[in-house]
Each structure stands twice: as structure tokens, then as C-alpha cells.
Amino acid sequence: HAQSIMRIALLHLSPVPGDLERNRRLIDAGIEEACKRNADWVVVPEAGLTGYFFTPVIGVEWIVPATQDAWIDSVCKVSERAGVAIFLSVPEKDASTGLLHNSTHVIVRGSIVGTQRKILCMPGPGEGWSIPGPAPPQPIAVDGVSVGVLICADAYPLQNAIACKEAGASVLLSPASWAEGSHGPNGEWEADSQHTGLPMIVCNRSGYESSELDFTGSHSAVIVNGKRTLDAAPSSA
């Protein structure tokens, strides 16, 4: 039988730290363009809404549960209207515990069907505000596909990818904010794919935040059997 083809849009964005209104407009425009191009899935990179070093600019008091966020609700409505699945990476407050998490909400036909909370949260102002999510990560069903979501550094330990595979994932997807340089990606995505036999889809970001954190030239990629079959490093978006 004919093999079905899925179109996946990776929003390789350049968010400005703390400028939520600008970054929301950027994401909204990216989703709109992806829908025009008949995308089935749209992926927003880690920190796409906030930038990485956002806390010195706007703090964390604005972070609310997803069900109370008017902008997230508007993104859900776009998902429902366009019939597109959206992997939306945002800070999240747990409605019951009040704890803050670095999360990716998976929105399908207007509803959040699953949320992956980042497990390996780096200390410091970039991620120190967030509490690690439960380990190991659990796959999320999207359009009949079981997706293991590995947020940025969660793709670093091979056991996270293996856990996704063992739990039934058929594809790995990584919303990332992983700059090039001495601590940049160094074969981790390829190893996850090679050892699990699963394709790995990476949506990274661009933009300059500081001399210590320059995402210019960062790569988004699709890796199959440990080899990059698609690779892109847009300078800006």
C-alpha cells in the first residue's frame, strides 16, 4: 500500500529574552505559515516563547497553568481549526503543586493531549527557575504515532531515548535550545537514533543572547539510523 507522508514544520526561531508579546507574534506567524504549507505537525523550540535568559527581564510571576493562559488557548484554537498538531514549548505552573516546569505541551485538534516536562534542568538563571519533571519520559500519542519528547538536554543521556523506545515510541522529537560551541551538540542526537533505531527530529533555535550564549548557526535536524538526513542552520527567523 502507499506509504503515508507526514509534513513536519520546525520553527527555528530567534526569540528575544523576556519579550513575550514579540515572541508570541513570531510563533503565531510561524504556525500560520506552517499551516499554509499543509504541515501536519508544528514544533516550537525550547524557550521559543521566552528566550533562554528571560528571568532577569520579566521574572516568573507571570507563569500560570496552561488552562489559565489565554495565548495557549488561542494556539489550541488554531490547532483545532487547522487540524494541525502543535508541540508548544513554554514555562508551565502545575495547577495543583504550584511548581514551575520547563514543558512542551502537545496540542492535537485543539486539546492538550500530553505534556512533557524537562528532566535535566540546568542550574543558573536560564533554567534554575524550573523543577525537573518525572523520569523516565513517557511517549505521547499524536495522530496515531507514539512520540518520545526529549526537551534539549534530555536527549543527552542515552537512557532517556531507550526508555521512550521501550515504552513504545516510534519516533523521537527534541525541542531544543542547544547552541554550538564547547558544550554544543556532539553526536547525542545521532546516538539516540542509532541505539534505538528510531528517527530523531530536532527543532533548535537561532539568535544571539550573550557572548556566552550565541545560538547563531545552531542546527535543526532529522536523523535516521544515526545519520542526519536533513540538516539546517538558519541564521535568523
Q: Count other Cβ atoms within 10 Å, centred on residue 71.
A: 15
3-state secondary structure of 166: helix
Burial class (CB in 10 A: 0-12, 13-18, 19+), 80: middle
Cα–chain center distance at 219? 14
Overall size of the chain counted in residues: 237
Burial class (CB in 10 A: 0-12, 13-18, 19+), 111: exposed
Q: How far apart are CA 232 and CA 138, in angstroms?
A: 28
Q: How far apart are CA 165 and CA 190, in angstroms?
A: 15
Q: Which residue has cell 535543526?
A: 220
CA distances from 194 to 57, 202, 223 (A): 40, 15, 9
pTM score of the predicted model: 0.96
Tens place of pLDDT per residue across the chain (237 aa): 344 789 999 999 999 999 999 999 999 999 999 999 999 999 999 999 999 999 999 999 999 999 999 999 999 999 999 999 999 999 999 999 999 999 999 999 999 999 999 999 999 889 999 999 999 999 999 999 999 999 999 999 999 999 999 999 999 999 999 988 888 899 999 999 999 999 999 999 999 998 778 899 899 999 999 999 999 987 644
